[in-house]
Amino acid sequence: MFSGTFGNPLYFFATNTSHLTQAEMWVRLSDILEFFFVAHPASGRKEGEEHQRIMYFYPKGDTLDRQTEITGFAEAVVNFTDNFVSPRDQAEKPEFPFRTVSTQKSDHVYIQVEECEFLIGLALSKIQNAAAEYSLFLPAIQNVLIGAYKMFRLFFGEFSSFSKKNSHKFKERLEYFFGRYLPLLKLHRMPLLDYLNGAAFLPLNGPTYLNVVSLSSELLEEFPVIQKVLILYQDKVLYYTISRRDLPSLFRYLTQSLLPMSIGDELDYQSRSTHGRYLRGPSDITTDEPLVGDDALPTVHIYNYNEKEDTEELVKYQMMVYRSLNATVCMFTTQDVTRKLMRNIDSYLGSELSKVASQIGDCVLAQNTDTLSTPDFHYIYYNPASLSLTSSFTDSTDAPKAPLPPPEVNKLVCTSLKSFLPDADEFGECFAKSESDWWIVLKKVNSRLLCLLLPPTSSQQSLADIQTRTLGIIKTHFEAIFFN
């Protein structure tokens, strides 16, 4: 059993109960999962020692022979298909090379990580997929697999840093992480959301956004020890200076675990005080005792830009999380943090953050009065430049929503996007009609993607009708963010 600061970051293993999403919006990965593994092929090169490549395998009940067979098949697929990759493509390999395999009973996805030194894979049961009415889209599962690796890396760093030091402890750490992470991992029934993998942003008017930026700039100037910040309001991003590569993982950890776990304490705290507070670390910052043991701050591994090498490198940071009136400021530093520093930051943010948070609350209230109370369509909007992802499927408000699309519509959305609007295209448009008479509209402008899902109606059945309605929806709801 691990102790001390090792277990400290794993707060995301708690279940989010702050505002439970409808069951039909999600599918638990464990309900459709056949197996999941982490392998180190180089460790199983010798004959008779092939099982040594297995670093982690789920489910635990499978025999060692089956685990060896599954990981060996995955390695063979990767090695065989490498023979058909051109030298140019080999030189321009993506960060996470992948392979997909479809059999009669299951669909497999494998990704290579850390310069192809490690292999991570899973298989999803076709029978269980059908029973759960889940629309499988393999590129979305690929991103889920990458996200699982990134979440491990966020808290513990790269695989190689552990495996080289002590293989046994590395396996224990994988067991400790994935044994808790996989049972809680959920997939969106709309696979496009897992495929795009962005973060929800809160749109603000100009003056309010400038106040947020000013708060960040003044905070960094007042406390040079703080090197990066991420600012949220409720469960949406306002501003960040961390690397874009880290945003989805950090956003997921904060909004699905840390913040929901703190809401009960926050309500009790705010009944006694309007001052902000730290969500993690020491409960008492009035002393000058060192921050060790249970008082130690969480640490995360995020990317830092190296000017000399013109590259990003993974660096271990301490993370301070401060919250006031629904606004959260995450501060990251590689330098020593003391209780005195935390007191000084508390004195500064206690007054400044509450002012800005109050202004944001007024802005959000004004926006809510202008929104459509009962929309008769679903939408997904994604901006790859900022990673902003908003949708009617993930909106946490209690406002009435249009009926959810059937599984075949979810599937058609994904296949239409991949077939007719490639990632490289900055502009494009696609209209598709499902067998159940749902209309799907995909539009790209300056790489920004808008997806509209329109339920069947008796008054709008022709393509011309849908084009007219699409223009009206964009003008009313998306013109400001889509075309500007």
- In this predicted model, what pLDDT tens digit does every residue of 245-290 receive, in sequence order? 999 999 999 998 899 887 655 545 444 455 799 999 999 999 999 9
pLDDT averaged over every residue in the chain:
89
Taking residues 336-351, what's their average pLDDT?
Answer: 96
Q: How many CB atoms lie within 10 A of CB 141?
A: 23
Q: What is the mean pLDDT of residues 236-240?
A: 96
- 296's enclosing H/E stretch is none
Query: What is the pLDDT at residue 371?
Result: 57
Identity of the highest mean pLDDT range in 18-22, 82-86, 467-471: 467-471
Q: Are residues 144 and 210 in the same domain?
A: no
200 belongs to a structural domain: no
CATH number of the CATH domain containing 98: 3.30.450.30
**Crossing angle between the packed helical segments 138-156 and 407-420, to the nearest 10 degrees:** 90
Residue 197 lies in a domain: no
Q: Please give the residue that has the higher pLDDT: either 418 or 11.
A: 418
Residue 145 lies in a domain: yes
pLDDT 10s digits, 281-323: 999 999 999 999 999 999 999 999 887 777 889 999 999 999 9
Bigger pLDDT: 395 vs 219? 219
Q: What is the pLDDT of residue 477?
A: 85
Report the pLDDT value the prediction gives residue 482, as an integer from 0 to 100. Answer: 67
**Whether the predicted pLDDT of 392 surpasses 50:** yes
| CATH number of domain containing 413 | 3.30.450
| pLDDT over threshold 70, residue 186 | yes
- Final residue before a domain boundary, out of 156, 190, 224: 190
Q: What pLDDT is recorded for position 441?
A: 97
Contact indicator for 357, 325 with CB cutoff of 8 Å? yes
For residue 378, with 0-12 CB atoms within 10 Å meaning exposed, 13-18 middle and 19 or more buried, which class applies? buried
Query: Residue 40 is part of which domain span?
Result: 4-13+21-190
Question: Distance (Å, rounded) from C-alpha 481 to C-alpha 62?
Answer: 50
177 & 302 share domain: no
Taking residues 363-371, report their average pLDDT: 74
Please check whether residue 117 is in contact with residue 40, taking contact to mean a CB–CB distance below 8 angstroms: yes
Q: What are the pLDDT digits (tens) for 104-147?
A: 999 999 999 999 999 999 999 999 999 999 999 999 999 999 99
pLDDT at residue 333, rounded to an integer: 98
What residues have CB less than 8 Å from 201, skipping those under 6 apart? 236, 237, 238, 386, 388, 389, 390
- How many of the other CB atoms lie within 10 Å of CB of 383? 19
* 258 and 283 share one domain: yes
